[in-house]
Amino acid sequence: MVGRVEPLPASREGGTRMGGEEVTRVQAPGKPKTVNINMGPQHPSTHGVLRLKVALNGEIVEDVECVLGYLHRGSEKLAEDGTYLQFIPYTDRMDYLAAMQNNMAYCLAVETVADIKVPEYANYLRVIAQEINRIASHQVWLGTWGIDLGALTMFFWCLRDREEALALLEQMCGARLTYSYMRFGGVKQDVPPGFRERALAWVRYMRPRIDEYESLLTKNDIFLLRTKGIGNLPKHRAIGYGVTGPMARGSGVDYDLRRDEPYCNYRAFDFDVPVRTDGDCYARYEVRVEEMRQSCDILEQALTRLPERGPYIAPEVGERAKQNRLKPPAGEVYTRVENPRGELGVLLVSDGSNKPYRVKVRPASLSNLQPLPEMVRGLKIPDLVATLGSTDITLGDVDR
């Protein structure tokens, strides 16, 4: 049924809290067998400030309750204060590993409500930026998941190669993490000369690196033992929970917004959408690794076809201060883009003024995290860590 979690009992007498986790005297005989442990908000493998109240019977996870909000910054309320343009930096800080997609989702919503046409050149730049960011985001996921599984080296290999991705994004927009690159009707600035060659070189460098990542994990027996059949999420449950993105595709939901509901000019690119039907950690891993390859394909196509020069922003909107004066007509839209984690939707309500009336960001991570208790019930503690890692949540995205 519904992922209902009974509220865990408060810690027993003598319990105290130290450094974020609950400490209790060893249980006297005769008391119930369940041990309650707080994983997080400060724990090595909760990927941020997620708090899990775990009920354990020995090593077996009996129940999990997620406690959210430790990174809640009220971005949606802040959106109502500033102008449309002023909200873009806040979107960077939601899913901070995929700021480009967050920019994109928000700009797409504003462009939809204001009927702005984006020039082709700007669309190419947007696709390039997003796909570089997608690979970088998957690299962080793979690396941190490696740490969750005890394969420490994965993290360094991934971050080693991500460095160049960040350098490329820095060339595009001047920042390495919080890009604020997209503007209504285009992007902030043109790419510098030599960018195309550097990016193409990186794509060519990345392909063998992805094989290298796989050589460390895919055929490793311990890795297979730890991931195959662990954290199962059947297709109908995935759909019911609103799970999207690589996680849904690992459960057999053959859907990718880039292919099936193309925004920017994704229609122009030829790429596959990897789908696995097993719905376990390994399937999600396979999907994401294959997605990195597909992103390389898209990047290669986009970089070779990128026109020499063109308008990088819609002339009717203009740049800089003109962006800040944007006043879309009143209206309500729901748009969505494919974030590395899944469907990133924006419900934007405009009242005709220069400030958004309501911005609701539909984060992929929130819905992807929701089936966690159902996925891990009855498994062991290490499986809980592996499954949580395989959902690829960003707490900035969950809490906003």
Partner 1 sequence: MTLDASGTGFIAYVLAKLAGLVGLHPSDMTLFVLSAIILGLIILILVLTIVPGFVWGMRKIMADIQSREGPNRVGPFGILQVLADGVKMMTKEDIIPARADRFGFILAPFVMIVPVLLAFAPLPWSGGVILSNVGAGILFILAIGAISPLGEVLAGWSSNNKYAMYGGLRAAAMDVSYEIPMIISALSVVFLAGTLNTEGIVAAQQPWWFFLLQPIGVVVFFIAALAKIGVVPLDLPESESELVAGYFTEYSGMRYGVFMLSLFANIFLMSAITVTLFFGGWGIMPPWAVAGVVLTFAAILLARRKGMSVNIAPPAIMGTMVGVVLAYGAGIHGIAQGVLASAYGPDVAAHFFDGTNPGNFIATLAAAYDFLVPAAIVASIFSVIVVAAERGTRRDMLPFPAVALAMVILVPTALLLLAPFLYVGVQGGIIVFVLGGLKLLILGVKPIVMVLVLGALVGVPLFLLLQATNDLILAGVLATLVPLFVPMLLIPITSFLLKSLFFSFLVFWVWFTLPRVRVDQFLRIGWRTMFPLSLLTLTIAGVEAWILRGGAL
Partner 2 sequence: MSAPPAAAAAAAKPSGLTTPAPAPGSLAERFAQDATEHIEGPGTQKNHPQFVVKPSALPQALHIARRLGFDHLADLTAYDICPPGIIPLPPGAKEPTVVFGGAPRIEVVYNLFSYARKEHLSLKVKLGRDAPEVGSAVPEFPGADWLEREVWDLLGVRFAGHPNLKRLLLPDGWAGHPLRKDYDRAKEQFVSLDEQTGEDVVSFEEGRGW
Q: How far is the CB of 68 from partner 2 (least distance, A)?
A: 6
Alpha carbon of 102 to those of 122, 134, 365: distances in Å?
17, 11, 13
Binding positions for partner 2, rule: CB under 8 A: 1-5, 7, 10-11, 15-17, 22, 38, 68-69, 72, 74, 76-77, 80-81, 112-113, 237, 239-244, 253, 255, 260-261, 329-336, 343, 345, 347, 349, 351-353, 355, 357-358, 360, 362, 366-367, 370, 399-400
Instruction: Pull the structure tokens for residue 35.
Output: 């041990």
Q: Which of 14, 32, 193, 307 binds partner 1 (CB under 8 A)?
A: 14
Instruction: Single out the residue of 63, 92, 148, 397 in contact with partner 1 (rule: CB under 8 A).
Output: 148
Burial 97-115 (b: 16+ CB within 10 A, else e): bbbbbbbbbbbbbbbbbbe
User: Choosing among partner 1, partner 2, none, which partner's interface includes residue 242 (Cβ < 5 to 8 Å by kind)?
Assistant: partner 2
Q: Which does 220 bind (CB under 5 to 8 A by kind): partner 2, partner 1, none?
A: partner 1
Amino acid at position 344, single letter: L
The alpha carbon of 217 is separated from its chain's Cα centroid by a whole number of angstroms, namely: 22
Interface residues for partner 1 in 352-391 (CB under 8 A)? 380-383, 385
Phi-psi region of 61 (alpha: psi -120 to 50; beta: other; left: phi over 0): beta
Q: Whole-number minimum distance, CB 318 to partner 1, in Å?
A: 45
Smallest separation, CB 39 to partner 1 (Å): 9
With CB under 5 to 8 Å by kind, the binding choice for 315 among partner 2, partner 1, none is none
60 secondary structure, DSSP code: E
Work out what residue 355 binds among partner 2, partner 1, none; the CB cut-off runs from 5 to 8 Å by kind: partner 2
Does 8 engage in binding with partner 1 (CB under 8 A)?
no
Nearer to partner 2, 167 or 330 (CB): 330
Residue the block writes with tokens 């195309």: 196
Rounded distance, CA 185 to CA 326, Å?
11
Which is closer to partner 1, CB of 146 or CB of 356?
146
Quick check: 172 and 195 in contact, CB under 8 A? yes
Residue 251 exposed, middle or buried by CB count within 10 Å (0-12, 13-18, 19+): buried
The tokens describing 45, both together, are 């493998």
C-alpha distance across the termini of the chain, in Å: 28
Q: Does residue 51 belong to the site contacting partner 1 (CB under 8 A)?
A: no
By beta-carbon proximity to partner 2, the closer residue of 113 and 151 is: 113
241 binds, among partner 2, partner 1, none (CB under 5 to 8 A by kind): partner 2
How near is the Cβ of 65 to partner 1 at its closest, in Å? 16
How many CB atoms are closer than 10 A to CB 147?
18
CB of 333 to partner 2, least distance (A): 5
Give the one entry of partner 2, partner 1, none that residue 26 binds, where binding means its C-beta sits below a cut-off of 5 to 8 angstroms depending on kind: partner 1
Query: What is the closest distance, in whole angstroms, from the C-beta atom of residue 100 to partner 2 in the complex?
Result: 21
265 binds partner 1 (CB under 8 A): no
Regarding 277 and contact with partner 1 (CB under 8 A), the answer is no
- Binding to partner 1 by residue 200, rule CB under 8 A? no
Instruction: Determine the interface stretch with partner 1 among 69-77, 93-101, 152-160, 318-326 (rule: CB under 8 A).
Output: 152-160
| Partner from partner 1, partner 2, none binding residue 196, C-beta < 5-8 Å depending on class | none
What pairs with residue 54 in β-bridges? 37, 64
Please state, in angstroms and rounded to a whole number, the distance separating the CA atoms of residues 251 and 232.
8
Rounded CA-CA distance 173/34 in Å is: 52
What burial class does residue 72 get, using C-beta atoms within 10 Å of its C-beta: 0-12 exposed, 13-18 middle, 19+ buried?
middle
Provide, rounded to whole angstroms, the least separation between the CB of residue 23 and partner 1.
Answer: 5
Q: Residue 349: CB partners within 8 Å, gap ≥ 6?
A: 331, 332, 356, 357, 358, 359
Q: From the CB of 71, what's the least distance to partner 2, in Å? A: 9
DSSP string, 324-384: HT--PPSEEEEEEEEETTEEEEEEEEE-SSSSEEEEEEE-HHHHHHTTHHHHHTTSBHHHH
- Which residues of the shown chain bind partner 1 in the complex (CB under 8 A)? 14, 16, 18, 21-26, 35, 37, 43-45, 59, 146-153, 155-157, 160, 215-217, 220, 222-223, 225-226, 380-383, 385
